Amino acid sequence: MSNTERTFIAIKPDGVQRGLIGPILSRFENRGYKLVAIKLCTPPESQLREHYADLQEKPFFPSLLSYMMSGPVLATVWEGKDVVKQGRAILGATNPLQSAPGTIRGDYAVDMGRNVCHGSDSVESANKEINLWFKKEELVEYKSALFSWIYE
């Protein structure tokens, strides 16, 4: 299958605290993407600084760190055709007020500072984020029994 890739999707503390883990995971499963890694964790500041390195100069960076350390995060890795781009479409725009109804952020969020999820924005960042959040042995290799019902 061409264009099979992996993406990193994190349910942020607000999504975990609001009990949105099941509905968010089901959006990816229902679309046909395969879950290959999952863990609930409270990431340390050093990991978050590396994850959000591109935002360190932004004035909101300290509050972003504080927010991301305020509770558990559900880190996941999904696999499938064009999953990075499609994962971003499932999440919706970063600003929930610009997210279409039917997207995760369009259905579950209002403020950009509480936008429920993070999703990799490119294959390169997905690979970097996956390696930052998961050890290689935590990524499970398997063929889904539904594979031939989803892909030609």
CATH number at residue 23: 3.30.70.141
Report pTM.
0.95
- Residue 44: which domain range? 6-141
- Provide the pLDDT for residue 17: 98
Find out whether 18 is annotated in a ligand binding site.
Answer: no
CA torsion through residues 24, 26, 30, 32, sign: positive
Q: Residue 35: beta bridge partners?
A: 78
| In the block, residue with structure tokens 């993406």 | 7
Residue 148 in domain: no
Residue 51 in domain: yes
- Provide the pLDDT for residue 4: 86
Find out whether 88 is annotated in a ligand binding site.
Answer: yes
> For the chain, which residues score pLDDT lower than 50?
none
Residue 147 in domain: no
Residue 10 in domain: yes
Find out whether 143 is annotated in a ligand binding site.
Answer: no
Residues acting as catalytic residues: 118
Q: How many domains does one find in the chain? A: 1
Residue 152 in domain: no
- Provide the pLDDT for residue 1: 55
Residue 18 in domain: yes
Task: Write the burial class of residue 128 (CB in 10 Å: 0-12 exposed, 13-18 middle, 19+ buried).
Answer: middle
Please give the Cα distance from 128 to 130 (Å, whole number): 6
Find out whether 27 is annotated in a ligand binding site.
Answer: no
Please give the Cα distance from 83 to 99 (Å, whole number): 19
